[in-house]
Amino acid sequence: MKTGRFITFEGIDGSGKSTQARLFAAYLKAKGGEVVLTREPGGSHGAEEIRRLLVEGNPDRWSPETEILLFTAARRDHLEKTILPALDRGASVVSDRFADSTRVYQGAARGDLRALVDQLHDAVIGKEPDLTFVIDMDPAEALRRGLARQSGEDRFEDMGAGFQERLRDEFHRLVEEHPDRCHLVDGQHDPDVIAREVAEIADRAE
Ligand code: ADP
Ligand code: TYD
């Protein structure tokens, strides 16, 4: 059987990625076939437990090195338990964040640790999406949207507007580095307008 397609959504906090991941999964489902909608950090039982350690508490709770290890541990479990089994049975997998988030977030926080991020990825993950959508958004607007949710998961949002600006720049750089896989999508439109653009790009790339 043909392996399924692995599609990821990336962007700064509050950019609208979860909304778009949901809409895109619904679009794929309507076309037929199994679709698994998942997220990081999380997406499997063990990874959801690690998620709580990462997104709650003080911004300085973990050193950048520890944080990279925790995100990578969560991703390995997610990959083993959810992503690879789904792709192997021919399902499409739509993930709200994946390895690009570690490259961008941990790279933006501490650029000198990018080599560690890449080494760990190569050693224990070694999987890239077929297609990645980066939802581009003004950090001030995204921060307003994100904090308005009051999810209690604001450890990264609490790192402030300057950090979100650096993240946006890093996401732009990521798209430039991987023009075949990554597509930058303007997140300032209505959700349905963005969803149509995403679906068109995905259909063209198929
Ligand atoms: P993320 O997953 O990137 O943090 P969400 O999809 O959870 O973002 O969206 C954050 C908030 O903004 C939610 O309250 C959501 O309903 C709202 N939102 C999402 N997309 C849009 C959009 N295109 N325009 C206006 N509000 C949006
Ligand atoms: P997420 O639940 O996607 O938050 P949001 O919906 O607010 O965008 O992710 C939680 C936080 O974890 C988010 O601030 C981004 C951060 N993160 C990293 O720093 N590195 C990673 O590898 C991942 C997957 C997430």
Contact 50, 70 (CB under 8 A): yes
SS (HEC) of 38-93 = EECCCCCHHHHHHHHHHHCCCCCCCCHHHHHHHHHHHHHHHHHHHHHHHHHCCCEE
Which ligand 1 atom sits closest to the C-alpha of 11? 3
Contacts 24+ apart (CB under 8 A), 120-123: 120/68, 120/69, 120/72, 121/72
Find the helix or strand (DSSP H, E) in which 16 lies. none
Q: How does pLDDT run across 157-200, given as a tens digit for each residue?
A: 566 678 888 999 999 999 999 999 999 999 999 999 999 999 99
CA gap 192, 184 in Å, rounded: 16
pTM for this model (two decimals) = 0.95
Say what the pLDDT of residue 74 is.
98
Which ligand 2 atom sits closest to the C-alpha of 15? 8
Per-residue confidence at 1, pLDDT binned at 50, 70, 90?
A: low
CA gap 85, 3 in Å, rounded: 10
CA gap 195, 185 in Å, rounded: 10
Tell me the one-letter amino acid at 195: A
Residues whose beta carbon lies within 6 Å of some atom of ligand 2: 13-14, 18, 40-41, 55, 71, 96-97, 101-102, 105-106, 146, 156
Domains and CATH numbers, the chain: 6-205 (3.40.50.300)
Q: How does pLDDT run across 130-150, given as a tens digit for each residue?
A: 999 999 999 888 877 766 666
Q: Which of 125, 150, 113, 149 is nearest to 40 (CA)?
A: 125
**Mutation to probe ligand 2, out of 37, 44, 51, 55 (largest number of atoms < 8 A from CB):** 55
136 lines ligand 1 (CB under 6 A): no
Structure tokens at 6: 């692995």
Say what the pLDDT of residue 43 is.
98
Which ligand 2 atom sits closest to the C-alpha of 11? 8
Cα 94 versus chain centre, distance: 10
Per-residue confidence at 153, pLDDT binned at 50, 70, 90?
A: low
pLDDT higher than 90, residue 97? yes
Say what the pLDDT of residue 163 is.
85
pLDDT higher than 70, residue 50? yes
